[in-house]
């Protein structure tokens, strides 16, 4: 049973009644599985949804979003769409890995994709699943570099990060953040902690406030919707915050920058591969700086121009392979 099904966000072929014409229908049906309440998280899930909407508009696919009330809904939601003949089912996030593996094994003729999970790590390594991965450590390095320079200008050498759950994508962000900070200002102290939550902003705000009380002058949120609370704490205490996934500069000038993660582009390109017949199950698609899969968001007008320029030079060096070996784990 599908838990919560939003109406397909595309429209039928032809005039939509507003004087415009929709893209011709491709006949491809795509389902996106998200967690309840996360489609407006100003980040990860919302970006995946934007990728689906773009595919509807430009490729003419028929899309459906299914919101799961709990992890117990993942498999039933995916199985329902597979039974209904959806051509591609996309799971959003590490927590859906087991569900995708289970559903893919039951429906080998349906294509599946999983954002933020290595296909080779799935149980049974199903040949009809493609993993969509990102070089989070690269953009983590950049925001850590800029964060350390900014903290140094404020007369401190302490910055921090608020993660959601301890999962590989989160730790790749934080590992890069720590490495970039240490490269920019040797001796920088980097604190981090986990809220164990993606939704409750109060939990992330409390964690950030504790870090700020311990001397942090920059807080990097890596906790989805919960992390908006960390950025709120930064604003309240007059320090820098760093957004994640989407460009969160709209929250105010206290947002130094954001670590962008192109979940929208990854979802769109995956759908496009199904439409044009090039979908590659049993593999991973990896998006880094050189593919514009990650990058820096808008920088605050209050940020130092020299620090921004220095960080942009480091961005070029990473993209061109001059800086390599950025840590991907916190070990």
Q: Do 112 and 88 contact (CB within 8 A), yes or no? A: yes
Residue 119 is classified by DSSP as G
Handedness of CA 211, 148, 218, 245 (dihedral sign): negative
Surface-to-core class of residue 174, CB atoms within 10 Å of its CB (0-12 exposed, 13-18 middle, 19+ buried): buried
d(CA 199, CA 193): 16
Question: Residue 129 belongs to what H/E stretch?
Answer: strand 129-134
Q: What is the pTM of this model?
A: 0.83
Residue 24: the pLDDT is 55
pLDDT band at residue 291 using 50, 70 and 90 as cut-offs: confident
Residue 158 β-bridge partners: 189
Question: Residue 265 belongs to what H/E stretch?
Answer: helix 263-275
Strand pairing of 111-115 and 129-134? parallel
Instruction: Please name the residues in contact with 233: beta carbons below 8 A apart, sequence gap of 6 or more.
Output: 204, 205, 208, 209, 212, 219, 241
Residue 21: the pLDDT is 39
Q: Do 67 and 4 contact (CB within 8 A), yes or no? A: yes
In 3-state terms, what secondary structure has residue 173?
Answer: helix
Residue 325 is classified by DSSP as -
Q: What is the pLDDT of residues 208-258, one digit of tens each?
A: 999 999 999 999 999 988 999 999 999 999 999 999 998 999 999 999 999
Q: What is the pLDDT of residues 114-123, one digit of tens each?
A: 999 999 999 9
Closest CA to 148 of 218, 62, 195, 44: 218
Question: Residue 245 belongs to what H/E stretch?
Answer: strand 240-245
Q: Is the pLDDT of residue 43 over 70?
A: no
Residue 258 β-bridge partners: 243
């Amino acid at each position: 049973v599908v838990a919560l099904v939003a109406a397909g966000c595309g429209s039928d072929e032809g005039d939509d009644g507003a004087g415009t014409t929709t893209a011709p229908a491709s006949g491809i049906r795509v389902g996106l599985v998200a967690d309840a309440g996360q489609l407006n998280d100003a980040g990860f899930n919302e970006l995946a949804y934007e990728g689906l909407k773009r595919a509807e508009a430009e490729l003419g696919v028929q899309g459906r979003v299914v919101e799961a009330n709990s992890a117990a809904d993942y498999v039933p939601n995916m199985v329902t769409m597979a039974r209904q003949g959806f051509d591609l089912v996309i799971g959003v996030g590490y927590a859906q890995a087991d569900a995708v593996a289970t559903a893919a094994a039951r429906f080998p003729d349906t294509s599946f994709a999983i954002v933020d999970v290595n296909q080779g790590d799935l149980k049974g390594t199903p040949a009809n699943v493609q993993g969509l991965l990102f070089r989070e450590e690269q953009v983590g390095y950049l925001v850590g570099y800029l964060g350390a320079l900014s903290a140094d200008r404020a007369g401190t050498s302490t910055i921090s990060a608020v993660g959601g759950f301890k999962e590989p994508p989160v730790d790749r962000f934080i590992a890069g953040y720590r490495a970039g900070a240490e490269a920019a200002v040797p001796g920088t102290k980097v604190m981090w902690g986990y809220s164990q939550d993606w939704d409750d902003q109060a939990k992330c705000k409390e964690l950030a406030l504790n870090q700020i009380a311990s001397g942090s002058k920059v807080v990097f949120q890596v906790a989805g919707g919960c992390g908006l609370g960390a950025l709120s704490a930064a604003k309240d205490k007059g320090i820098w915050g760093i957004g994640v996934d989407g460009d969160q500069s709209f929250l105010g000038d206290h947002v130094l920058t954001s670590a962008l993660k192109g979940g929208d582009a990854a979802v769109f390109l995956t759908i496009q591969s199904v439409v044009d017949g090039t979908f590659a199950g049993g593999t991973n698609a990896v998006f880094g700086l050189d593919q514009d899969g990650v990058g820096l968001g808008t920088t605050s007008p209050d940020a130092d121009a020299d620090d921004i320029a220095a960080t942009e030079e480091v961005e070029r060096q990473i993209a061109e392979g001059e800086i390599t070996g950025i840590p991907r784990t916190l070990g």
